């Protein structure tokens, strides 16, 4: 998130807090739908912030990048919170019953994914941004291409590579451990 | 050994190269990796193999997380807890307002299961409790067999407000009808029961505000039950609901919200009429009235507020239900569409009226809903015929277009626009529509056969007749308002700005009266009027009007980037023409930023704003910036623009810049494409091809093809001759070009009269750059004719003035310097 104006620095916390709140609300809402629909979040956030003085100086690229980043953080925080609760033996285990047992691994998947993305970020900032924009801000290939000012083909290929790289990371590092 | 970070860029390069190749080629390429890439092969193979796998690890992790996210981690902590006299049994669901639990009386006083809604913090206020007490009377009056009763309200120990309602077990209305395979008649009967419940609430002055299929459950016994009645009132969401407009809305909310809710206007019982219309539409046709799937939020709002839903019969036909389509066609279409009118005043006046019509239909009697009213049709018609963005956009470019010369003269734009292509079809449509609308009421005076329409009437005559007819039938402001606007737009479209201004001013007065000053409708008329004044060259009058439009757009609940940026572009060009390029640039940057936020609808304006910025740079001699802008505009063009004049125009401009930069090959290629793109165009756009032809002439000249260059240059003169009076400023540059080519070809005597005319035209235009360039060109001609004494002052002044207006690096300045040097070499008199 490029914050290159003092004004932006000043307003960023405000926008950021609002985005966090919306992201958390969106996640709770989506709980029943079984999927994340980040596009709705982005749209909602945009509408909400459209008239705040902060957004006037954020361009669309910055806005989308910020939203995707916040979404990722909120997800990870939720996952961490859940992990803590489970370790602490909260009554949740009882009330959620089978559902919880069946799908336990996904939290760890998410945290692992976050860490893998961190590692990927050291190799290719662009690939991480593409992943965030596509999966967490819900943008299409063409939209990501526009935001990052690269060709759609590049976006597609970088997505494929990030996916492949992450898959390898998440399955335990491959034979050629230092390759990535 | 390189570190992973060092190796990654090359790994990425190879991956990109190989990933889309067929397996065989990929393998061959892997086998043939150069030695320095050899250590990457294992990683590359692994990554490519992983890329071919169908799994998506990212989606998997995220969807897992989405599925697992607990509404909030403390939810479970409430199970078994006591809230007031209620004991929480289990979690049922999660709504917009908060969590819902199944609960029962803790004291076992009676054995009834209830739904307990725990209102989420920040949503309701501390006043909820007080309101609940105040409204107790009203809530009691809601007792109706089809309304789930509101039983209790209170606050938890932590101060969270809650509401307790009758717990209903059942399927939603839509699920029920589908699961039982109910016929259309049976669905309508069930819907009538829903109407009865809503009517009952309305009689007790309670508006639901949030009716949607999910709020109507049908019990196992087949009885519908409406949930959440009275909640809006308790939550203090009665007047001017801010939650929608201020962004707490989600796409789900928009789906069922009425246009007035989305606009943040007062919500009345008409809101429930609308919602019932949506519910009935879906129930009977199987489709939602608007296509809101995967639509960005602002666009969804726009569709609900502005677009006309297709008749439900058509929706059913598209969904493949021919039987439903047949039954719906006609009366039921009319009934549903009447409930869905954009303006509350146009809908059924009450739910009772809607229900009465449905009962009439069930009984086979005629329904009250008719084909849409005159006003409705007028509004709808005008919606299809916006002057707005497109017409203004077209002409904006022409102002700064051409060789960068036309920008100076407002007189110029006016003279050329008068000769613009006539939009006959459109004007006739307006007129025909008026005839249909008004002629029917007074056919003796305006019968189509006795009317003033001979075989050969001009578009202007048709419009004049329409305007006169409208003057005579001034009775209904609500009908006249949009028609005046359409007429004004049509006049502006054919370059008749005086009557356009008259109609738009009348339209403005009517709109203010009918819709109010700050309404979107009125705002649009301000914008149209500003555009027409601008096109007419009345910059001083246009400016405040356009400013007003911009201010009003900014006061709307939802921004209209596509429209607002049109006004901003016009304002920018007014500043540019006035010699305030910095201000023009600022306005264009604003327009661009706004258009970029406006989604697909505003994309043409993104392109246009960038193009205008490019022309501003071009005009100020910042060729590198101009080139970047033109290229970006070309890249961002919509499919329609790519096929249209924009593509040719932008390529022509870019070609000229590239040529000035010295890239003869690319310049020539672009200019040829531009010339091809303009082929077959006419009117004003035809005139814009001058820039492409003259650029191509320069390119050929630089290649030494003087005959070809002369032919292209003369083409520009022909085009101008067809488009403008011979003394207009648009002729200066073409004449200068032909003249200079003739001088170069050793035909200076032939060139002299042309260049003198060009210089005179340049003087008249008041454009210092053109004037200086023509001084230098004529000076060169006279030098070639050996008249050094006459040539010397022209060459010197020309050079000096070019240096002053364009700087030393400008190609025109450099050319003038060369000519001056020639004079000096020949020993000029000092």
Among the partner-chain residues A59, A60, A123, the one whose CB lies closest to the CB of B4 is: A123
- pLDDT at position B120: 63
Pick B521 or A59 by higher pLDDT. B521
Q: Other C-beta atoms within 10 Å of B720: how many?
A: 22
Structure tokens at B369: 């809903």
Q: In which band, very low, low, confident or very high, does the pLDDT at B561 lie, cut at 50, 70 and 90? A: confident
Residue B824 confidence (pLDDT) = 80
**Do B79 and A178 make contact, defined as CB atoms within 8 angstroms?**
no
Min Cα–Cα distance to chain B from A178, Å: 6
Closest by CA to B115, choosing from B150, B85, B84, is: B150
- The share of chain B scoring above pLDDT 90, in percent, equals 23
Task: Find out whether B467 and B487 touch, Cβ atoms under 8 Å.
Answer: yes
Highest mean pLDDT among B228-237, B485-494, B534-543: B534-543
Contact assignment for B8 to A163 by CB distance below 8 Å: no
Closest-CA distance, B306 to chain A, in angstroms, reads: 18
Cβ-defined contact of A79 to B12 (cutoff 8 Å):
no
Given a cut of 80, whether residue A86 has pLDDT beyond it is no
The more confident residue out of B132 and B503 is B503
**Which has more pLDDT, B69 or B275?**
B275
CA distance B306 to B110: 51
**Average pLDDT of chain B to the nearest whole number:** 77
Pairing relationship of beta strands B82-83 and B86-94 according to DSSP bridges: antiparallel
- In angstroms, the CA A113 to CA A107 distance is 10
CA B346 to chain centre: 26
Across B797-818, average pLDDT: 83
Helix, strand, coil percent content, chain B, rounded in steps of 5: 65, 5, 25
Rounded to an integer, what distance in angstroms lies between the CA atom of residue A69 and that of residue A133?
A: 9
In the DSSP assignment, the letter for residue B310 is P
CB contact under 8 A, A175 and B70: no
Please give the pLDDT value at position B122.
52
Residue B97 pLDDT > 80: no
Contact residues on chain B for A32, CB-CB shorter than 8 A: 93-94
What pLDDT score was predicted for residue B809?
Answer: 76
Question: Would you state the structure tokens that stand for residue B319, as one six-digit string?
Answer: 């969904």
Q: Measured between alpha carbons, how far is residue A78 from residues A23, A28, A174, B65, B354 in Å?
A: 11, 10, 29, 9, 48
Q: Do A163 and B69 touch (CB under 8 A)?
A: no
Q: Are β-strands B150-155 and B98-105 bridged in parallel, bridged antiparallel, or unpaired?
A: unpaired
Does the pLDDT of residue B156 top 90, yes or no? no
Do residues B301 and B558 touch, judged by C-beta distance below 8 A?
yes
B601 secondary structure, DSSP code: G
Of B5, B63, B248, Cβ closest to residue A36 = B63
**B55 closest CB neighbour out of A135, A167, A179:** A167
Of B433, B417, B436, the residue nearest B495 (C-alpha): B417
Backbone angles phi and psi of B486, in degrees to 5: -65, -40
DSSP 3-state of B83: strand
B803 Cβ neighbours under 8 A, 6+ residues apart? B813
B773-809: buried (b, 16+ CB within 10 Å) or exposed (e) per residue?
Answer: bbbbbbbbbbbbeeebeebbebbbbbbbbbeebbeee
If pLDDT is split at 50, 70 and 90, which confidence band does B586 have?
A: very high
Question: Which of the residue ranges B103-107, B292-296, B324-328 would you say has the lowest mean pLDDT?
Answer: B292-296
Chain A residues touching B19 at Cβ < 8 A: 157, 160-161
Predicted confidence (pLDDT) at residue A43 exceeds the cutoff of 90: no
* Mean pLDDT of all residues in B401-409: 29
Instruction: Among A144-158, B354-368, B480-494, B553-567, name the most confident range.
Output: A144-158
* For chain A, counts of helices (H) and of strands (E): 10, 0
Give the whole-angstrom CA distance, residue B297 versus residue A47: 8
Work out the minimum CA distance from A35 to partner chain B, whole angstroms.
5
- pLDDT of B394 > 90? The answer is no
> Which residues of chain B neighbour A82 with C-beta distances below 8 Å?
68-70, 73
**pLDDT reported for residue B280:** 95
Distance, CA of B460 to CA of B500 (rounded, Å): 11
Q: Is the pLDDT of residue B294 over 70?
A: no
User: pLDDT digits over B609-653, tens only?
Assistant: 898 888 888 877 788 999 999 999 999 988 877 877 778 888 988
Query: What distance in Å separates residue A3's CA from the closest CA in chain B?
Result: 17
pLDDT of residue B745: 92
Hey, are the CB atoms on B64 and A105 less than 8 Å from each other? yes
Distance of residue A96 Cα from the nearest chain B Cα, in angstroms? 8
What separation, in Å, do the N-terminal and C-terminal C-alpha atoms of chain A show?
Answer: 24
Dihedral over alpha carbons B555, B558, B562, B563 (to 10 degrees): -40
Of A57-61, B316-320, B435-439, B586-590, least confident by mean pLDDT is B435-439
Nearest CA in chain A to B95: A29
Q: Is the pLDDT of residue A92 over 90?
A: no
B711: helix, strand or coil: helix
pLDDT in tens, B443-466: 222 222 222 333 233 556 666 777
Give percent of chain B above pLDDT 70. 76
Stretch B789-809: mean pLDDT, rounded?
88
The percentage of chain A sitting over the pLDDT mark of 90, rounded to a whole number, equals 15
Q: B453 vs B167, which has greater pLDDT?
A: B167
Q: How far apart are CA B483 and CA B376, in angstroms?
A: 12
Query: Cβ–Cβ of B297/A47 closer than 8 Å?
Result: yes
Q: Do B596 and A113 touch (CB under 8 A)?
A: no
8 Å CB contact of A110 and B93? no
Whether residues A50 and B247 touch (CB distance < 8 A) is answered with yes
The model's confidence at residue A3, banded by pLDDT at 50, 70 and 90, is very low
| Rounded mean pLDDT, B21-41 | 86
Distance from CA of A47 to the nearest CA of B (A): 5
β-strand partners of B147:
B144, B226
Task: Give yes or no for residue B414 having a pLDDT over 50.
Answer: no
B209: left (phi over 0), alpha (psi -120 to 50) or beta: left
pLDDT in tens, B594-610: 999 888 878 888 988 89
**A32 to B93: CB separation less than 8 angstroms, yes or no:** yes
User: How deeply is B688 buried, as exposed, middle or buried, from its count of CB atoms within 10 A (0-12, 13-18, 19+)?
Assistant: buried
| pLDDT tens sequence across B60-84 | 777 555 544 444 434 556 777 888 8
More confident call, A48 vs B27: B27
Query: Which pLDDT belongs to residue B748?
Result: 94
Checking if the pLDDT of B42 tops 50, the result is: yes
- Which residues have C-beta within 8 Å of that of residue B704, sequence separation ≥ 6? none
Structure tokens, B754: 């042309």
Contact A27 B66 (CB under 8 A): yes
Interface pTM (ipTM) of the complex?
0.77
Q: How far apart are CA B341 and CA B356, in angstroms?
A: 18
For A167, the closest chain B residue by CA position comes to: B57
DSSP states of B629-686:
HHHHHHHH--HHHHHSHHHHHHHHHHHHHHHHHT-HHHHHHHHHHHHHHHTT--HHHH
Q: How far from the centroid of its chain's Cα atoms is residue B793's Cα?
A: 54
Instruction: Say which residues have a Cβ less than 8 Å from residue B735's Cβ, sequence separation at least 6.
Output: B717, B754, B755, B757, B758, B761
Q: Which long-range contacts (CB under 8 A, 24 or more apart) does B47-50 make?
A: B47/A161, B47/A164, B47/A165, B47/A168, B47/B11, B47/B15, B48/A164, B48/B15, B48/B18, B48/B19, B49/A164, B50/A163, B50/A164, B50/A165, B50/A167, B50/A168
pTM of the entire predicted model: 0.43
Give me the mean pLDDT over the A68-97 stretch. 54
Q: What is the pLDDT of residues A15-40, one digit of tens each?
A: 666 666 666 666 555 444 334 455 55
Residues of chain A with Cβ-Cβ distance to B559 below 8 Å are 50
| Residue A11 confidence (pLDDT) | 56
Using a CB-CB cut-off of 8 Å, the residues of chain A touching B597 are 46, 50, 60
For B724-741, give one letter per residue: b (16+ CB within 10 A) or e. Answer: beeebbbbbbbbbbbbbb
pLDDT of residue A87: 45
pLDDT at A147 over 50: yes
Which pLDDT value is given to residue B241?
Answer: 39
Among B217-231, B334-348, B715-729, where is mean pLDDT lowest? B715-729
Q: Find the residue in B nearest to A72 (Cα).
A: B62
Give the residue among B568, B597, B596, B598 at the shortest CA–CA distance from B584.
B568
Contact A124 B597 (CB under 8 A): no
| pLDDT for res A44 | 57
Q: What is the pLDDT of residues B201-253, one digit of tens each?
A: 888 777 787 788 878 889 888 899 988 776 766 655 444 333 433 333 444 46
The region of weakest confidence among A171-175, B1-5, B700-704 is A171-175
Q: Do A179 and B43 touch (CB under 8 A)?
A: yes
Looking at chain B, which residue has its C-alpha nearest residue A47?
B247
Map residue B795 onto helix, strand or coil: helix
Q: Looking at residue B804, what is its pLDDT?
A: 85
């Amino acid at each position: 998130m490029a914050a290159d104006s003092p004004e932006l620095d000043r307003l960023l916390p405000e926008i950021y807090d609002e985005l966090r709140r919306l992201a958390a609300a969106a996640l709770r809402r989506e709980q029943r739908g079984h999927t994340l629909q980040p596009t709705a979040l982005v749209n909602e956030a945009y509408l909400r912030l459209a008239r705040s003085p902060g957004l006037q100086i954020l361009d669309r690229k910055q806005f989308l990048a910020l939203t995707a980043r916040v979404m990722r953080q909120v997800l990870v925080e939720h996952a961490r919170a859940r992990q803590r609760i489970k370790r602490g033996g909260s009554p949740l285990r009882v009330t959620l019953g089978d559902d919880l047992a069946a799908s336990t691994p996904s939290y760890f998947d998410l945290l692992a994914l976050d860490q893998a993305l961190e590692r990927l970020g050291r190799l290719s900032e662009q690939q991480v941004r593409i992943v965030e924009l596509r999966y967490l801000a819900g943008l299409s290939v063409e939209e990501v291409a526009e935001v990052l000012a690269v060709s759609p083909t590049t976006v597609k290929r970088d997505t494929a590579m990030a996916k492949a790289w992450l898959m390898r990371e998440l399955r335990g590092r491959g034979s050629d451990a230092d390759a990535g | 050994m390189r570190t992973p970070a060092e190796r990654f860029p090359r790994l990425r390069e190879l991956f990109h190269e190989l990933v889309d190749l067929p397996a065989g080629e990929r393998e061959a390429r892997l086998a043939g990796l150069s030695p320095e890439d050899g250590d990457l092969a294992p990683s590359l193979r692994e990554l490519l193999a992983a890329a071919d796998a169908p799994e998506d690890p990212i989606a998997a992790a995220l969807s897992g997380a989405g599925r697992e996210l607990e509404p909030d981690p403390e939810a479970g902590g409430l199970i078994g807890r006591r809230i007031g006299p209620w004991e929480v049994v289990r979690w049922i669901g999660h709504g917009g307002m908060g969590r819902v639990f199944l609960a029962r009386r803790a004291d076992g006083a009676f054995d009834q299961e209830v739904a307990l809604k725990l209102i989420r913090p920040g949503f309701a206020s501390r006043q909820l409790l007080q309101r609940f007490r105040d409204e107790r009377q009203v809530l009691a009056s809601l007792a109706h067999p089809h309304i789930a009763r509101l039983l209790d309200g209170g606050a938890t120990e932590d101060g969270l407000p809650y509401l307790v309602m009758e717990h209903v077990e059942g399927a939603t209305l839509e699920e029920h009808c589908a699961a039982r395979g109910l016929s259309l008649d049976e669905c309508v009967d069930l819907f009538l029961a829903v109407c009865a419940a809503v009517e009952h609430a309305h009689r007790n002055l309670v508006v639901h505000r949030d009716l949607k299929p999910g709020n109507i459950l049908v019990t196992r016994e087949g009885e519908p039950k409406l949930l959440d009645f009275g909640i809006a009132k308790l939550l203090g969401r009665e007047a001017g609901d801010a939650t929608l407009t201020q962004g707490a809305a989600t796409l789900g909310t928009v789906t069922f919200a009425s246009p007035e809710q989305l606009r943040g206007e007062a919500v009345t019982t008409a809101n429930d009429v609308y919602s019932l219309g949506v519910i009935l539409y879906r129930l009977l046709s199987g489709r939602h009235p608007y296509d809101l799937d995967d639509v960005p939020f602002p666009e969804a709002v726009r569709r609900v507020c502005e677009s006309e839903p297709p008749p439900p019969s058509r929706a059913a036909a598209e969904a493949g239900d021919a039987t439903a389509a047949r039954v719906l066609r006609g009366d039921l279409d009319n009934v549903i569409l009447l409930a869905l009118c954009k303006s509350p005043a146009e809908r059924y006046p009450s739910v009772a009226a809607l229900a009465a019509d449905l009962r009439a239909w069930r009984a086979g009697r005629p329904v009250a809903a008719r084909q849409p009213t005159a006003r409705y049709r007028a509004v709808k018609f005008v919606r299809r015929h916006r002057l707005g963005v497109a017409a203004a956009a077209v002409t904006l470019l022409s102002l700064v277009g051409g060789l960068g010369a036309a920008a100076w003269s407002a007189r110029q734009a006016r003279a050329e626009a008068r000769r613009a292509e006539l939009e006959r079809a459109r004007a006739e449509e307006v007129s025909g529509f008026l005839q249909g609308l008004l002629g029917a009421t007074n056919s003796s005076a305006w019968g189509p056969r006795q009317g003033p329409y001979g075989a050969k009437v001009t578009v202007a005559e048709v419009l004049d007749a329409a305007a006169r007819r409208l003057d005579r039938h001034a009775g209904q402001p609500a009908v006249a308002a949009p028609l005046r606007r359409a007429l004004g737009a049509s006049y502006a479209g054919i370059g008749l700005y005086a009557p356009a201004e008259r109609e738009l001013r009348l339209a403005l007065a009517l709109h203010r009266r009918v819709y109010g000053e700050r309404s979107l409708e009125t705002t649009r008329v301000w914008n149209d009027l500003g555009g027409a004044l601008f096109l007419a060259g009345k910059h001083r009058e246009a400016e405040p009007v356009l400013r007003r439009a911009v201010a009003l757009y900014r006061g709307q609940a939802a921004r209209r980037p596509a429209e607002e940026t049109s006004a901003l572009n016009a304002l920018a060009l007014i500043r540019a023409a006035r010699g305030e390029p910095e201000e023009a640039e600022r306005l264009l940057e604003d327009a661009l930023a706004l258009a970029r936020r406006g989604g697909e609808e505003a994309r043409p304006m993104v392109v246009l704003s960038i193009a205008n910025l490019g022309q501003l740079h071009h005009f100020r001699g910042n060729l590198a910036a101009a080139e970047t802008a033109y290229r970006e505009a070309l890249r961002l063009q919509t499919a329609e623009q790519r096929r249209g004049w924009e593509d040719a125009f932008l390529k022509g401009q870019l070609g000229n810049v590239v040529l000035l930069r010295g890239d003869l090959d690319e310049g020539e290629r672009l200019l040829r494409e531009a010339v091809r793109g303009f082929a077959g165009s006419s009117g004003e756009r035809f005139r814009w091809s001058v820039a492409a032809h003259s650029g191509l002439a320069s390119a050929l000249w630089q290649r030494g093809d003087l005959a070809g260059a002369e032919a292209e240059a003369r083409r520009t003169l022909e085009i101008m001759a067809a488009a403008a009076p011979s003394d207009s400023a648009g002729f200066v540059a073409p004449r200068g070009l032909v003249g200079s080519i003739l001088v170069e070809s050793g035909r200076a005597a032939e060139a002299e009269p042309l260049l003198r005319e060009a210089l005179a035209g340049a003087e008249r235009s008041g454009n210092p750059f053109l004037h200086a360039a023509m001084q230098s060109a004529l000076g060169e001609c006279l030098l070639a004719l050996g008249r050094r004494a006459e040539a010397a002052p022209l060459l010197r002044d020309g050079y000096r003035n070019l240096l002053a207006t364009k700087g030393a690096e400008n190609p025109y300045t450099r050319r003038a310097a060369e000519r001056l040097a020639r004079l000096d070499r020949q020993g000029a008199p000092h």
